[in-house]
Structure 1
Amino acid sequence: MSQHLHTLPNGLRVAVAPMPHVETSSVGVWVDVGGRHERADENGVAHMLEHMAFKGTERRSARAIAEEIEGVGGYINAYTSREQTAYYARALKEDLDLATDIIADIVLNSTFPEDELARERDVVRQEIAQVNDTPDDLVFDNLQEAAYPDQAAGRSILGRPERVGRFNRDELRGFMDRGYCASRMVLAAAGAVDAEAFLKMAEDRFGDVADAPMDAPEPGVWKGGRIVDDRAIEQVHLTFGVEGVAYDDPDFTAVQVLSSLLGGGMSSRLFQEVRENRGLAYSVFSFAGSMMDGGMFGVYAATAPEDLAELQPVLVDEIRRTATDVTEAEIARSRSQIKAGMVMALESSSARLEQIARQTLIYGTPQITADMLQKVDQVDEAAIRRVASRLFDGGCTPAVAVIGPASHLEPEDAFAKRFR
């Protein structure tokens, strides 16, 4: 499948992945700026900025933005992560120019109307309150904070309600001016797209974007620790993690296969042992998250309070067993799961858009699918044992987060010793 990368004279990169047999086009701007680029006193500003981008530009009101894209049956959205912010739209192929124009307008020409900002402060505070009322979401924010305390890498992307309620236009504009510069942006399109015509659109709409690169975020330094929110709910939500790997780490692909093997589906070790054999949890899975300079490998499970004492050692034992006891059959099954996900993404213009945009930000260019599949195929038993030993036998202080009745929680020191 063809893909193209072009850099405009101002440093903005344009990635295109034509998909000749589809009828839709997806387009978006990915900005190499997120929660990690905030100062401590502006925590949450990247997310608030993403919200406010839709609230009016020099040419369109908030309502006009929604009506124009939905008037042609299209879809528009955005998200903020710790390291990136994305604005994207999907429409029929004949409406790609309109979708691109709207994306360019909200990213480059937002006016942050004061009346809209006043309303959006309340909306974001409601979003924060919703997360606080959703323990299986909140527990992951707490886990990140436990892993990286008092650091940008550990702070909530949404911010704190009291600070969100004081954001003003100057703070939003200041953060945008620092971070939304040409060399930190990738404009991408996938689907029914003519690469040459889209490059002309990019030059017309983004050719004048200034470039004033902001400082790199402070490095994430793994500390580990424990955050316990002992509240009266029906289940205990437990998650814990150890220091993982960065995107460019040679073990990145092997760690992804290990995560799939350990807790990536109904056939995974954790699902079979924790749910099927012991009935200790309805939901249990593992995850491997990466950043530019590090990452986390972890496990989540929700259980009845009285089963927490049994669950904790079972989870750790299954994790540690992968360093000494894996089979080629389960590795092959995990490889197949990952490869299928990669290939299936090629059939959706929106998934392909996300793929090429993120890869360009992370690696400098979209990755060749055949090369990625080959890397997965190269993960063998020796690689799984090696990365399992690296992650779990290095004496790393685990990060632990718990929400729910915690009377049966193992003491912090005793749990940490399981990783040594």
Structure 2
Amino acid sequence: MTLPRPDYRETRLENGLTIVTEAMPHVATVALGVWIGAGARDEAEGEHGLSHLLEHMAFKGTERRSAQAIAEDIENVGGDINAATSVEYTCYTARVLGEDTALALDVLGDILTASTFDPTELERERGVILQEIAAVEDAPDDLVGDLFVETAYPGQPLGRPILGRPETVSAFTPDALRGFVATHYRPERMVIVAAGAVDHDVVVDAAHRFYGVTPAGSGPIAPPATYRGGEKRLQRKHEQVNLMLGLPGRSFRDEDYYATQLFAQVLGGSISSRLWQEVREKRGLAYSVDAFHWPFSDTGVFGIGAGFAEGDAKAFMDVAIDTLRETAETLTEVELARAKAQVKVGLLAALETPGGRIERLARQILAWGRIVPMHELVERVEAVDVEATRAAGRALLTGAPTLAAIGPLKTLPKYAAIAGRLRG
């Protein structure tokens, strides 16, 4: 496979801040952003939901710009601006024409270094997030995901919902926001990335201007997470059961990471997968069913997700678990080749837009401290053989299960019975 040769440039400031750009010929726009290696799992006990609130408050005014001015400065040149919070990082991004790169970097630098966290704006945005939390409670297919992770990692920051809880969100102050920024938004845990019609020197100049005088430092590191497993059932009068069944997965640093990803793809990553064919096509037990593997820096969780009628609960569980066990023993060369092709398409499709490229580059710098060439990733996928993929599936089955379910649950098998069937 012949892969395009990327045009990367990388600069690291004396304080540890990394800047990476990738020029893309024939592209008129630039996607750029600031990634911080701190997210929901970096929050202390009383800070649950703070990183997400901080992301919201970033656009609510700075010492130089009002909230309206932030929006207008970007949109006057046809651009857009956004932010996102995950378990392990937070990012602030923009997309503009290449000629407006300096403006976009000025706006991002302004909101990250000079936000005022006005109390009136804070109160307003607090209300928005409380509505967001309430919306999840009303959406069982979203809520079951929060319950699933919380059950897999009980009593740990990794297991807490990113949005926070009403009681914590209601208590946050402007000083709490400033304190989180001062503690975690440190140069050695930050990377500025831009791709498209980009001038590397323009990006470096902005980095020097906004962050060059910030003292070196990485801030505290989140405590290690430990998968536990268990069950959480919410009996509700819904039309169907929303369920996730999980097992301990792998960190993206683990040597079995790629084999586990490929196993999940074979099991339930597409409509040709075993789960889809057995559950949906042959038996009609669920409208959709999938298998997934969520890796983190020091742990991971594997799972199966579906929605089905109450009367099909036992049949679904029997078929899903039997299919999981059988796949771990009989996965074929043809299935693995198909999964590899699907994974490679997913990897390469991310290269087709500037936005996809900056996310990939930022995550790699935060995770590995270097850009991982695409050919290296493809080689790692190709190196996985059938026996390694089967072994990854068998290894999953040695862990304690996690069960999260919402809806009419009277016919759903007991946890002990599910665990016993998984063990065989």
Distance 1:344 1:124 in 2: 33
Q: Say whether residues 1:173 and 2:168 are aligned partners.
A: no
Matches within 5 A, 1:270-349: 270-349=275-354
| Structure 1 residue identity aligned to 2:407 | G
Q: Is the Cα–Cα contact under 8 Å of residues 5 and 365 in structure 1 kept in the other structure?
A: no
Q: Say whether residues 1:31 and 2:36 are aligned partners.
A: yes
- Please name the residue that 2:108 is paired with: 103
| Structure 2 residue identity aligned to 1:190 | A
Distance 1:241 1:180 in 2: 33
- Please name the residue that 2:385 is paired with: 380
| Structure 2 residue identity aligned to 1:253 | Y
1:200 Cα offset (Å): 2.6
- Please name the residue that 1:398 is paired with: 401
- Residues 164-207 of structure 1 show CA distances to partners (whole Å, capped at 9, x for unaligned) of 11111111111111101111111111111122332233222321
Unpaired runs of 5+ residues, structure 1, are none
Q: Which of 33, 41, 45 is the aligned partner of 2:46?
A: 41
Distance 1:15 1:255 in 2: 30
Q: Say whether residues 1:80 and 2:85 are aligned partners.
A: yes
Distance 1:61 1:183 in 2: 29
| Structure 2 residue identity aligned to 1:321 | E
Q: Which of 413, 417, 421 is the aligned partner of 1:410?
A: 413
Q: Say whether residues 1:120 and 2:131 are aligned partners.
A: no
Q: Is the Cα–Cα contact under 8 Å of residues 178 and 212 in structure 1 kept in the other structure?
A: no
Matches within 5 A, 1:365-376: 365-376=370-381
CA RMSD between the two structures: 1.1
Distance 2:22 2:253 in 1: 23
| Structure 2 residue identity aligned to 1:16 | T
- Please name the residue that 1:156 is paired with: 161
Distance 1:130 1:206 in 2: 37
Identity over aligned pairs, percent:
46
Matches within 5 A, 1:195-214: 195-214=200-219
- Residues 54-109 of structure 1 show CA distances to partners (whole Å, capped at 9, x for unaligned) of 11111111111111111111111111111111111111111111111111111111
Q: Is the Cα–Cα contact under 8 Å of residues 191 and 366 in structure 2 kept in the other structure?
A: yes
- Please name the residue that 2:146 is paired with: 141
| Structure 1 residue identity aligned to 2:116 | T
Q: Is the Cα–Cα contact under 8 Å of residues 270 and 276 in structure 2 kept in the other structure?
A: yes
Q: Is the Cα–Cα contact under 8 Å of residues 113 and 210 in structure 2 kept in the other structure?
A: no
The SS at the match of 1:419 is helix
- Please name the residue that 1:253 is paired with: 258
Q: Is the Cα–Cα contact under 8 Å of residues 17 and 356 in structure 1 kept in the other structure?
A: no
Q: Is the Cα–Cα contact under 8 Å of residues 139 and 238 in structure 1 kept in the other structure?
A: yes
Distance 1:361 1:268 in 2: 33
Distance 1:303 1:241 in 2: 17
Matches within 5 A, 1:187-198: 187-198=192-203
| Structure 2 residue identity aligned to 1:359 | Q
In the superposition, the TM-score normalised over structure 2's length comes to 0.96
The SS at the match of 2:65 is coil
The SS at the match of 1:416 is helix
The SS at the match of 1:190 is strand
Count of aligned pairs: 418
| Structure 2 residue identity aligned to 1:129 | A
Distance 1:195 1:383 in 2: 42
Distance 2:206 2:258 in 1: 35
- Please name the residue that 2:191 is paired with: 186
Q: Which of 63, 73, 76 is the aligned partner of 1:68?
A: 73
- Please name the residue that 2:365 is paired with: 360
- Residues 364-398 of structure 1 show CA distances to partners (whole Å, capped at 9, x for unaligned) of 11210011111111122112111111112x2x111
Q: Is the Cα–Cα contact under 8 Å of residues 240 and 398 in structure 1 kept in the other structure?
A: yes
Distance 1:37 1:390 in 2: 29
Distance 2:18 2:206 in 1: 13
The answer to which of 26-35 and 250-259 deviates more is 250-259
| Structure 1 residue identity aligned to 2:321 | V
Unpaired runs of 5+ residues, structure 2, are 1-5
Q: Is the Cα–Cα contact under 8 Å of residues 15 and 217 in structure 2 kept in the other structure?
A: no
Distance 2:143 2:267 in 1: 23
- Residues 21-71 of structure 1 show CA distances to partners (whole Å, capped at 9, x for unaligned) of 211100101101111111112111111111111111111111111111111
Distance 2:114 2:154 in 1: 36
